Amino acid sequence: MCGCFGVRFFVVYLEVLTIAKLDHQLNEEIRDKEIRLIGDDGAQLGIMSAAQANAMAEEQGLDLVKISPNAVPPVCKIMDYSKFCYDQKKREKDAKKNQKVVEIKEIRMSPSIDTNDFNTKVKAAQKFLADGNRVKVSVRFRGREMAHTNLGEKLLMDFADACAEVAGMEKNPKLEGRFMAMFLTPKTGK
């Protein structure tokens, strides 16, 4: 060993991601003997060969797209495919933008929680519920506390009563191992 440190270079290959192509066959890719053709305006143009349909699409300066490949005969439509893809992406983007993600926030307590700590946890839960999130309230039992699970259930019911103005109880308190948990959901109509 010479005591020299070798320098290693890591080459990162970036894979160019292409926008997902909707799996439609276009123009010359359609090689069926007979197809059912739908015009650009939605009118049924009848059953014809793929070559005739492709010629009609070229006359209009549009694309021939196979819409329903499993039908007998397959259904093709004359349309502007690039505009169709653009509208599809735009609809997906708008749907994603209008989507609201609801998170589940968790509040943990012990059965011997003090009054001020309890009130602080209630205020935090009310804030989470006002933001539109669901809240999981759980009580952890340690050692001999497992013999008094009724205290934890009473604590959770008091918590639900304190949050009754802004939340409804989705699931009643349930014991799961050493934890007793319940779920609160925000009330919708105000």
Task: Tell me how many domains the chain contains.
Answer: 2
Give the separation between CA 28 and CA 9, rounded to whole angstroms: 46
Which is nearest to 170 in space by CA: 137, 122, 141, 139? 137
pLDDT value of position 189: 56
pLDDT value of position 182: 92
Give the separation between CA 160 and CA 186, rounded to whole angstroms: 12
Domain range for 90: 27-97
pLDDT value of position 8: 47
pLDDT value of position 145: 86
The answer to whether residue 16 is domain-embedded is no
Look at residues 97, 120, 146 and tell me which one is the last residue of a structural domain.
97
Q: Give the pLDDT means over successive 10-residue stretches in the chain (190 positions).
A: 47 40 73 86 86 87 86 87 88 82 86 91 91 90 88 90 87 87 80
Instruction: Dihedral sign for Cα 152, 153, 158, 161, please.
Output: positive
Pairing of strands 167-176, 134-140: unpaired
pLDDT value of position 2: 52
The answer to whether residue 11 is domain-embedded is no
- Asked if 125 and 176 sit in the same domain, the reply is yes
- Asked if 69 and 117 sit in the same domain, the reply is no
pLDDT value of position 18: 39
Distance of CA 32 to the CA centre of its chain: 38
pLDDT value of position 11: 40
- Asked if 160 and 181 sit in the same domain, the reply is yes
pLDDT value of position 14: 37
pLDDT value of position 22: 53
> What is the domain-level CATH number for residue 49?
3.10.20.80
Look at residues 49, 68, 97 and tell me which one is the last residue of a structural domain.
97
Read off the DSSP letter of residue 143.
G
Give the separation between CA 178 and CA 142, rounded to whole angstroms: 7
Give the separation between CA 60 and CA 88, rounded to whole angstroms: 22
- Asked if 79 and 43 sit in the same domain, the reply is yes
Buried-state track 22-32, b at ≥16 Cβ within 10 A, e below 16: eebbebeebee
